A and B are shown apart, each in its own frame.
Chain A
Amino acid sequence: MDTFALLASGLMSALQPANLLYALIGVTLGTAVGVLPGIGPALTVALLLPVTYQLDPAGSLIMFAGIYYGGMYGGSTTSILLNTPGESASIVTALEGNKMARAGRGGPALATAAIGSFIAGLIATLCLAFIAPWVVRFALSFGPADYFALMVLAFVTVSAAFGDSALRGITALFIGLALGLIGIDLQTGQSRLAFGIPDLLDGIEVTTLAVALFAIGETLKTAVSPTQMAEQIEAVRGSVWMTLDDWKRSWASWLRGTFIGFPIGAMPAGGADVASFLSYSAEKNFSRHPEEFGSGAIEGVAGPEAANNASAAGTLVPLLTLGLPTTATAAIMLAGFQQFGLQPGPLLFTNNAPLVWALIASLLVANLMLIILNLPLIGLWVRLLTIPKPWLYAGILCFATLGTIGANAAMSQQIAIGGFVLRYSFELLLLLGFGLLGYALRRFGYPIAPVVVGLILGPMAEQQLRRALSISQGSPEILFSSPVSLVLYAVAALALLLPLYLRIRGRGSVLAQLATDED
């Protein structure tokens, strides 16, 4: 079957009422968390994983993808109206978008963001559908050594290539890798670093770590920060509709943003935030009104918003075809696949073709739902921003613990206070510990995403490494024996060394803005 036929059959499945409902729940939740500052799609998917355990796999995955796409849409609203990005990929949008809102052009800014996201999502999802089978065909020839090289590349790009310090990025990655060691070794059945605690034999749950680092860490950091600034919400004044001139200035930016964003997401080269930043600088160079940049240029909203949606779709290429997550959200979606006993990678396309194509087709459906949700209903989303912080964060913590309690309610530990024995869940203790870790990481400027990616990708990298080394009977030469792996190591080295060089040359501030943060 060719791609069109597969996509068409996927579309049939995506249009079934149950799957439509999952997609609608996903995009609605995604938009809401994108709008709310402090929570992003990565956290939301992590929170929902335990809840969806008993649901239909295809439906749940469609919902997760909807959350991912929705988060990208919703983030722009917060950036434009509040000047506080709802999620990290919308930081650049705030630069021009908030200026436009202050000048009374918030409506067109939101419109160009939403329509740009729609067009980018549409083109990028089609790119995904047509590129994925090629990557799968290529990936089927990969040996364990090639996979290991690919993971090394992902490790480097996630941790070291962007952000303000390669040292802190790599340190965060190694914390994740160390956590990934805990538990029973799959090949020999020996326990590692479990310290005799039965709860640790299964390893650290990705969801527990992600929820703790994102929700609890973020809550603590916000609570202790003395600069809890009083934010000013810009009301949407005037027409929401774009003028003819706005359209003329936006369309090329949307397309440029799409073709910057998709490859960046697809090649493990950083998250949506990187794409949106590069698109912003491209728009600045291409614009016929460069003088307007900094005071509300519509191109500066249109391009980056298209780019961050396109890169979200691009991220799904390595995730689905190679099983390689390159952002925190993708890492948690990978955990979602594993929860249902599915392993993303080339074989997923042959063994679970209907599910994969339903997922890809549902992205097109989700995209259409999102533009309907975001343009006419924008006033509703803006109202979410008026929830006072104490209630917002109190609610976030309730839901954060809910998922962990629901998934691991076993009260395996006990403590005696004054002859009174209280039983409690070890998983909640881990949640608290990792929450404090998340706070400390934020406090000292360490990125969060590499920890999560390290935890989930570490054991997979180890498996490939051991496979490769057992083929060669322990000789490490096998790691550098295929052209594919050599190219991948070369790219990884470049991704590590080029930023170092730029930092030494005093261009560090540019990279700091490219910080790969939570999504």
Chain B
Amino acid sequence: MSQDTPNLKRRPDGATLVIAVILAAIAAVIFWQTSQMRVVAVYARVGPTTFPYIVATGLAVLAIITAISAWRGRIPEREQENYGPLFWIVGGLVAQMLLLGLLGFSIATGILFAATAKGFGRGPLWQTLPIGIVFAFIIWFIFARGLQLSLPAGPLERLVP
């Protein structure tokens, strides 16, 4: 965890303000959705809406305090980050999610494996992809056949009787 150091660079801190706005938005959504609920008279005082209102109020208060801290508070130093790896890994997860039904567990998860390795700087894909698929196939065999976990099968899995 990064150390708190008085950050004198920019006021207000943009990221902290964005967080405050997001918290306020979540609070608003909970208020709005809860107010739409039809509540039976028996539960008028204490019912399914009580706790959501408490949580939404809390979030609203936290949003205000966070906004104030964007101007006044101590903001932890954040290191500059490179986002290339983020796209590789998120891309791998999205690809696995979408291709799982079509290509089966092994190939889809192999793609995730290769994309993650790429995100950490290990390539090339034509080498890591087969490694990933073999790795995922072994996992599939152990968990789907050994532990009876239902993992989607694709063309590769159907080769095993």
- Which residues of A line the B interface, CB within 8 A? 50-51, 54, 164-165, 167, 170-171, 174-175, 177-178, 181, 185, 187-188, 190, 192-193, 195, 216, 219-220, 223-227, 388-391, 393-395, 397-399, 401-402, 405-406, 409, 411, 415, 422-425, 428-429, 431-432, 435-436, 439, 443-445, 458, 462, 465-466, 469-470, 473-474, 508-509, 512, 515, 517
- CB < 8 Å neighbour of B59 from A178, A219, A458: A178
B37 to chain A: closest residue by CB = A190
Q: Give the residues in chain B near A428, CB-CB below 8 Å.
A: 93, 96-97, 100
- Give CA–CA (A149, B80) in the complex, Å: 42
Which of A171, A462, A469 is the most central at the interface, judged by chain B CB atoms within 10 Å of its CB? A171
- CB < 8 Å neighbour of A223 from B78, B120, B151: B120
- Give CA–CA (A512, B1) in the complex, Å: 8
- Could you say which interface size class chain B belongs to? 35 or more
A408 to chain B: closest residue by CB = B150
Minimum CB–CB distance from A19 to chain B (whole Å) comes to 18
Contact A465 B51 (CB under 8 A): yes
- CB < 8 Å neighbour of A192 from B37, B43, B88, B92: B37
B136 at the interface (CB under 8 A from A): yes
Interface SS of B by simple majority: helix
Please, what's the 1-or-0 string for B117-148, where 1 marks a CB less than 8 Å from any CB in chain A? 10111100000100010011001000100011
- Give CA–CA (A432, B114) in the complex, Å: 17
Q: Give the residues in chain A near B128, CB-CB below 8 Å.
A: 394
Contact B81 A226 (CB under 8 A): yes
Q: Give the residues in chain A near B98, CB-CB below 8 Å.
A: 415, 422, 424
Minimum CB–CB distance from B58 to chain A (whole Å) comes to 5
Contact A432 B97 (CB under 8 A): yes
Would you list 24 pairs from A and B whose C-beta atoms are within 8 A, ordered by A residue? A51-B143, A187-B48, A188-B40, A193-B30, A219-B116, A220-B85, A220-B89, A224-B83, A225-B81, A227-B79, A390-B121, A394-B117, A394-B132, A402-B139, A405-B151, A406-B149, A406-B150, A422-B99, A428-B97, A428-B100, A443-B81, A445-B76, A462-B50, A469-B50
B40 to chain A: closest residue by CB = A188
Q: Give the residues in chain B near A431, CB-CB below 8 Å.
A: 93
Minimum CB–CB distance from B32 to chain A (whole Å) comes to 10
Which of B19, B45, B46, B78 is the most central at the interface, judged by chain A CB atoms within 10 Å of its CB? B46
16 A-B pairs besides A225-B79, A431-B93, A444-B78 with CB distance below 8 A are A54-B147, A167-B62, A171-B19, A192-B48, A224-B86, A391-B117, A394-B112, A398-B132, A401-B109, A422-B102, A423-B101, A428-B93, A428-B96, A458-B51, A509-B3, A512-B1
- CB < 8 Å neighbour of B93 from A192, A226, A397: A397
- CB < 8 Å neighbour of A406 from B2, B23, B151: B151
Q: How many A-B residue pairs have CB under 8 A?
A: 208
Q: Give the residues in chain A near B55, CB-CB below 8 Å.
A: 174, 177-178, 181, 458
The 4 A-B residue pairs whose C-beta atoms are closest, nearest first, are: A390-B122, A223-B85, A474-B45, A390-B120
Contact B86 A220 (CB under 8 A): yes
- Give CA–CA (A190, B78) in the complex, Å: 43
- Give CA–CA (A436, B99) in the complex, Å: 20
Minimum CB–CB distance from A219 to chain B (whole Å) comes to 6
Q: Give the residues in chain B near A402, CB-CB below 8 Å.
A: 109, 139, 143, 149, 151
